[in-house]
Amino acid sequence: MSDKKYIGYVGSYTHGKASALGKSYLNTTNAQRLNAVNEVFVNKGTTLLLSFAPCDIKQFTESSIKNADLFSQNCANLLDFPVISNPATYFLEEQYMFNSAWHPTYYGANIRTVELSIDILRYFDLHKDSFLPIETRKQYNATEYPEEF
């Protein structure tokens, strides 16, 4: 399937044409904007977390896959909020991609959801003592909470 072409919002590419993950695509200007959004969230008593999108593993070179930790760390160094995932976790095989390198099939989306859930739960487990009490969180939420969970 190496000749399979996808057309999507990210442009056109052919499976098997690898690119480097390289330095963080998150530049200083965008990091400042995201940090400003994070400040709004913090002021409302919430926590913003960063994860990564699912992607066709064949889009990346072997060396860039090995450098996924560095890529994640570069993002973490620029942001004032936690990066909870490693991008390599979300690199999926071609069979789980639909019509672009970034668009998973139903099964690919399920895999991504499970992995993201694990990352979020790991974050919650590590930071369970730092969350605001439920009464404080309620005042920032438009929906009602049940009395018992």
Cα 106 from Cα 104, distance rounded (Å)? 7
Does pTM surpass 0.95? no
Look at residue 100 and give its three-state secondary structure: strand
9 has pLDDT over 70: no
**Model confidence at 62, in pLDDT bands (50, 70, 90)?**
confident
Query: Residue 101: which of 111, 112, 93 has the closest Cα?
Result: 93
pLDDT of residue 32: 94
Q: 83-129 pLDDT, tens per residue?
A: 999 888 998 898 898 887 778 999 999 999 999 999 999 998 887 76
